[in-house]
Copies of this chain bind each other. A is one copy, B any other.
Amino acid sequence: MLKVNETKTPQTVADHAQIVRPHPHCAHHIKGDDCRVCQVRPLGICAVLEPDEWATIEQISQTVPFAERDTLVSETDDCTHFYSITAGVARLIRHLPDGRRQVMGFALPGDFLGLSLGKAWSFSVEAITPMTTCRFARHAIVQLVDQKPHFLMRMHEMASAELNLAQDHMVLLGRLTAEEKIGTFLLEMRRRWARIDGHTSQNVPLPMGRQDIADYLGLTIETVSRTINQMQRARHLVIVPDGIRLMDAAYFEHLSPSV
């Protein structure tokens, strides 16, 4: 039951809009896109492929768009397809029976859903903005991984990086204060956007809502709102449409114990 809302534009601050907005060239194709023009190839799973292997990937991929609020995969689903995100932002989320939620992370352009290669998803993925994805049948990727060890190695590298992030996040959830959690989160988002668009800006797009941030950091929506507004009153940041602007980098780096 997917609610489709194609008219709404992604919520991002101006200097990132061209990244998050679905790539106009490919958003409505059915067959896989032209890898030669893929904007996220150097970031994602395909970075390890040689140009002569692009045709192989193109043949087993389809471009699939999603609207805001669509569910890409549900934690109860079997895993029939994997996704490489080419535009837009999604949340990876686990639901408890009583309605509590934990957001495991946010999937940004270049991220791959299905790194574990397993047959079952262990989380739901929900589009926060309109999205464009490269979709692969699971069996095709399993076959590719069998044939090309360097592709498997790339999957393993990315899964290892994911495990590292998960461990960073365990420290955050288990041992940081609300202020430290928010500060660490904002630095993390700045770092991840910088990797995507290649330049460091003090503007940090936050396409996810306050509730998603709260469920990511193990806080309530009220504490997230209060803490960000306190930081604004203290002139450490400015709240801008669809994000924030860091005004005091030293404050945030001092706040983040792990970095």
Say how far A175's CB is from chain B's closest CB, in angstroms.
5
Main secondary structure of the interface of A (DSSP, over half): helix
How far is A258 from B123 in the complex, measured between Cα atoms in Å?
12
Judging by beta carbons under 8 Å apart, are A117 and B170 in contact? no
Q: Is A160 an interface residue (CB 8 A)?
A: yes
Tallying the copies of this chain within the complex gives 2
B-facing mask of A169-187, CB < 8 A → 1, else 0?
1110111000000000000
Judging by beta carbons under 8 Å apart, are A166 and B160 in contact? no
Question: Can you add 19 more A-B contacts, CB < 8 Å, to A96-B171, A155-B156?
Answer: A96-B175, A97-B257, A100-B175, A102-B174, A104-B170, A115-B163, A117-B156, A123-B167, A145-B153, A146-B149, A149-B149, A149-B152, A152-B152, A152-B156, A156-B159, A159-B163, A163-B166, A169-B170, A175-B215
Interface, chain A (partner B; CB < 8 A): 94, 96-98, 100-102, 104, 115-118, 122-123, 145-146, 149, 152-153, 155-157, 159-160, 162-164, 166-167, 169-171, 173-175, 215, 217-218, 257-258
